[in-house]
A and B are shown apart, each in its own frame.
Chain A
Amino acid sequence: MNKMKDRIAGIILTLLSLLLTVGVKTLFSACGAKDDGSFMSCHYAEQAVFGMGIALTVISVCVLISGGSRIGTGCAVALIPAGAVTLFTPGVLINLCMMPNMHCHTVMHPAVSVICGLIIAAAAVHVFLSLRKRGERK
């Protein structure tokens, strides 16, 4: 039961990272190509989030496998800055389209922000609980 409890954070983090990776290419993708076939800048934000999503998924799987061990805690720590970079990719690091009523503003940006926010929060809670548990054991 305790092992299962240790893995809950890993399961949540893996699901969120997978949702981000798959979702950014499907459910909440950026705006489509222009009539001439060229892409707007939000497309590159989508690509960057997809790449970061893969990295976040791999780290989250490491948290899932490692459970409450030190490696798992370390991986969860790594998820916090990685999640923050992904959070700031659309709109801050890579510009989105000018019109805020475009798909990249109304769907992609808020969805990426919410999911990354949840990943950061879940990772932070996992780190806090793991450290507290370790402190209690000592």
Chain B
Amino acid sequence: MKLTESIAYRNVKGRPARSAALAALTALMAAAVVCGTLVVTSLQNGLSALEARLGADIMTVPASAVSKQNFENIVMQGSRGYFYMDMSYYEKAAAIEGIEKISPQLFLASATSNCCSVPLQIIGFDPETDFTVTPWIRKSLGGELKDLDVVVGNDLSVFVGNTITFYGVECNVAAKLDKTGTDLDTAVYTNFNTIKKLIASSIERGMNEFADIDPERVVSSILIKVADGYSVDEVLNDLNLHVRRTKSFKAKDMITDAADSLMGVAGIIGVLMAAVWILGLVILFLAFGMSVNERKKEFAVLRVAGASRKRLSGIVMSEAFIVTVTGAAVGIAAGLLIILPFNGIIEESMGLPFLLPGAGLTVLAGVLALAVSAGAGAISAAHSAHRIGSIDTGVILRGEN
């Protein structure tokens, strides 16, 4: 028998308002599951991508930079901003005992690029000493970065072979990086020679806050890997003690804020999902119960007409199944239509690393939401189905109950 010819389907269709209301409630519950799962997974992915790119144990920056707004995001996530310190601090830091690798970086925010009015963050690294950027640039580039070559973040709409102009200096796009879900996706990476040219050009044009610096003698941050046998805290204390006018941080501590925010957001999402589900389950339970109560006579007539008790329970369960699965499918589609296309604005409003999961995990989240919603419908209707299976036909038809 076709589904559309079944009693359950006709019952659902015969009460469009009630069915639509229950389906809408299930849609809300399914959307809460799919949206919540995708948002929390994306935040976790973003944090993992950020952690994966953390190659250094310690970061040293000019002490004056710490007061800069958004300072941690500048050094960790490629947000726009720049500051400089004299190269002598790098030399002093390199002389500290217990350092395995040390490499400087230079930052510059472009004023305008050739496409649009929004500036980009340019990160310069020293290819001879670098140990943090080069490993993942090599994956995309497959070779060395030449002078005036740049590697662009995944979100920039420029492609390998294009040119991009900063402060009048034309650079070639040599490679595009994998997505991280952070501002690093809109940053530009280049070697020390190129960024020094760009800084010099920005100073010449009067577009650099630090007009009196010599680009050949400055660095923005120093990345340090601690040698085996030395503790990170020990080296960190030495750096803070001996390299004055700089501030050193444990790199992992700097993503603690992002991790704490993620826990906070995950907690809020969890509470909201729980609230929607508890409310939804109570309403579904009451709605199915009331619906069966109202239709006791209808079921009694079916029983008299020869329908078994099992069949009556089956009708109630089928009705619940049709309503909840339809509602859940709509809710999942709506949830995906919100999260997938609008992930950019969600990322921006949260201000946290946000990396959507792959197609497989997204489908899994949808299937999970569908299964959980259908299960919730079945649980809510089970009690009513059991009750209708044990009705006393005679009593009901005589109108005594």
Contacts and interface: CB of A to CB of B under 8 A. Distances in A.
Contacts of B344: 100-101, 105-107, 110
A91 to B, nearest CB: 9
- Which of A34, A96, A106, A117 gathers the greatest number of chain B CB atoms within 10 Å? A106
B345 interface: yes
Contacts of A111: 341-342
A97 B116 contact: yes
A45 B158 CA distance: 19
Given A31-B116, A35-B117, A106-B348, A98 B156 contact: yes
A12 interface: no
Interface residues of B, number: 19
A107 B158 CA distance: 20
A114 B116 contact: no
A97 B345 CA distance: 15
A40 interface: yes
Nearest to A34: B117
A101 B344 CA distance: 6
B157 A100 contact: yes
Interface in B139-159: 155-158
Contacts of B120: 99
A128 B124 CA distance: 58
A125 to B, nearest CB: 14
Contact of B156 (A96, A99, A113): A99
B116 A106 contact: no
A102 B342 contact: no
Contacts of B345: 106-107, 110
A127 B158 CA distance: 41
A100 B156 CA distance: 6
Interface of B: 113, 115-118, 120, 155-158, 185-186, 337, 341-342, 344-345, 347-348
11 contacts: A31-B116, A34-B117, A40-B115, A95-B157, A98-B158, A99-B120, A99-B186, A100-B155, A100-B157, A111-B342, A117-B337
